[in-house]
Each structure stands twice: as C-alpha cells, then as structure tokens.
Structure 1
Amino acid sequence: MADAVSISAETPLQDDVRDMVTALNDTMRPLSPPEFQFQLTVEQMAEPSVTVFVMRDQAGAPLGMASLKIHDDELGEVKRMFTYPALRGQRIGTQLLRRVETLARERGVRRLVLETGEAPGFEAAWRLYERCGFHVCGAVLDYPDSGFSRFYEKTLTP
C-alpha cells in the first residue's frame, strides 16, 4: 500500500474531507454521551492552529485523516484521527500519526496529547496510540476527567 498512497496537509473544506468527518462523527456518536464528545467541526479544523493530513490512494480517494492542533510553543494535540472502517488494519493510522509527529517536532512541540473514548469500540485506537509510543495519562488541557475519556501523551525529542 505504501507505494500507492500520499499523505499531505490539506484544507478540510473539501467535500470528500467533510464526508470523512461525517463518517467519523457517525462512528463516534453511539460510543459516548454527546456531552463527552469533543469533536472539532470542519470549520474549526480549518483554523490556523490546526493542520489536517489526508492520506489518499493513487486515484486520489481519501483513505484516512489526522490533525495536529498547536496549543502553545511546546504542546500539540492529536485530533480527528480516522480511517475508513473497510481499510483498517493496513497501518493507515500509524502512517498518519507519524506524519503528525513529524510536523509537531518541526514546530518545536515537546509534548503531544490526545483525548479518545473510554468505552468498548475504542480498542483499536488505544492499540494504535500505545503501539506508537503514547502512554495513558491524567486529564489534559480543559477536558473533564469524566470516566468517558482516556488521555494519552508522548514526549517528543527534537
């Protein structure tokens, strides 16, 4: 698969990326109470503090996405990770997460954090983050420690 794909920073304000965000939201909606889902909208993803990476196949069809939100000079957050369900298991998420980490390092970020669900249905996400060197930590940023979220962090070296 690696020869047939590209990963690039793109605007989320495209129909096929909007469709991916809708598919992600539809996947997440039944897994946690709505008040404990912290989903950036496509418009929020287009803000200057956020970089959206899209993986596409040779024909240009989107396979997955991941975003980096910069909070300050040393803190970044992984947001909106998604791979279409039919494509899971092909390490698309791993490649996207590596691209997010590369940009974070380039920008001087020393610590990456993320919030994901703490419920059945999130096991694949947990495996991805842990396989990529993230460790479970306490609540980060302004997320509530509700029991519906699991938090991860990773210290980056330059």
Structure 2
Amino acid sequence: MQIRVADPKATYVTDLLDHHLRELQRVMADHAFALDASGLSAASVTFWTAWNDKTLVGFGALKELDCAHGELKSMRVAPAARGTGVGRAMLEHIIAEARGRGYTRLSLETGTAALHAPAISLYRSAGFAPCGAFADYSVSPHNQFFQLALRSVAPDL
C-alpha cells in the first residue's frame, strides 16, 4: 500500500468522498462536520490518499489547529478495503506526521452511530482517549471527541 499527498478535488477522490459525506449526513444531520473537497483543500489541511496498486483504498487528512495541536479529519476506507489494514496504516501515517510537526496532541471528532464503532475501536487501540469538545465544536448526542497525547510538555520552571 502507498500513502501519498493528494488533491481532494481530484476526480479519483470524488466518489469515495461523496460516499463519505452522504453517509455521515444521513446519520449525523447537522452534526456532521466532515470537510468537503474545498475544506480539505484549505492551507491548514494536508490530505492523503491510500492506494493498493492503482486502486484508491482510502483517504485521511490532518488539520493544523495551532502550532502544537492537530486534528485528524475525514479518515475513510473504501468499502471494499475494510478490514484490510488501510485504516490503521492511514492512522499511523497521520500520527507520525503530527509527531514530525512537533504537535503535542492530536484530536478528533467522530459520530456516535453504530457505523462509527470500527473507527472508534481503531482510535482507542492507537491510544486515543475521550476528551471534551475542542476548537469550534460543541457537544451533541451525535458526536464525541478523542485526543492523543503525542509528547510530554516540559513543565515551567
């Protein structure tokens, strides 16, 4: 599998991104905060695609909230590739990138519907723990928040 920086507006991303957005809108309504192609193209966002040979098998993004805090955005595995390790590989890639940028924490917002259970299990297995709302999010019955500490911050002396 290859993971590479990509353009979220590329035609090869459209079908999977549209599927992702439709599914989240269906179960989360106004509480679906996944970014569309324009949002994923923002200067503060890095977008990656995952490939198995010439087949797109997933995507994920990292949004910089500030110089020490990143947000995992819009991670999705293609339906045919679920259970093959694509999600874990993308998550590990994004965590490594966040560490490389010097972030002290990586946060994410996700849903509470049954379809989110596999992703939540993946996040927890990588060390993400529940946290309160961050950035501009607010708590609702449709979303939950997780955070991963990436490195210790030296105490002020």
**If the length of structure 1 is used for normalisation, what is the TM-score?**
0.91
**Residue aligned with 2:114, SS:** coil
1:20 counterpart = 2:10: no
Aligned-pair RMSD on alpha carbons? 1.2
Q: Which residue of 2 aligns with 1:155?
A: 149
Q: Which residue of 1 aligns with 2:4?
A: 8
1:110 counterpart = 2:104: yes
Q: Give distance in 2, aligned partners of 1:157 and 1:91.
A: 25
Structure 2 residues not aligned, in runs of 5+: 153-157
Q: Give distance in 2, aligned partners of 1:19 and 1:122.
A: 20
Letter aligned with residue 90 of structure 2: L
Q: Which residue of 2 aligns with 1:101?
A: 95
Q: Which residue of 2 aligns with 1:42?
A: 37
1:30 counterpart = 2:30: no
Match runs of 1:27-106 below 5 Å: 27-32=23-28, 34-58=29-53, 60-106=54-100
Q: Give distance in 2, aligned partners of 1:104 and 1:36.
A: 26
Q: CA deviation at 1:157?
A: 2.4
Q: Give distance in 2, aligned partners of 1:86 and 1:77.
A: 26
Structure 1 residues not aligned, in runs of 5+: none
Q: CA deviation at 1:150?
A: 1.0
Contact 1:31-1:120 within 8 A present in 2 as well: no
Q: Give distance in 1, aligned partners of 2:134 and 2:85.
A: 26
Q: Give distance in 1, aligned partners of 2:96 and 2:5.
A: 12
1:139 counterpart = 2:133: yes
Q: Give distance in 1, aligned partners of 2:111 and 2:57.
A: 22
Q: Give distance in 2, aligned partners of 1:107 and 1:48.
A: 15
**If the length of structure 2 is used for normalisation, what is the TM-score?**
0.92
Q: Give distance in 1, aligned partners of 2:126 and 2:88.
A: 7
* Percent identity of equivalent pairs: 31
Q: CA deviation at 1:30?
A: 2.0
Q: Give distance in 1, aligned partners of 2:61 and 2:13.
A: 12
Corresponding residue pairs, total: 152
Letter aligned with residue 30 of structure 1: R
Q: CA deviation at 1:108?
A: 1.1
- List, as ranges, runs of 4+ consecutive aligned residues in structure 1 with deviation greater than 2 Å: none
**Residue aligned with 1:104, SS:** helix
Q: Give distance in 1, aligned partners of 2:114 and 2:76.
A: 17
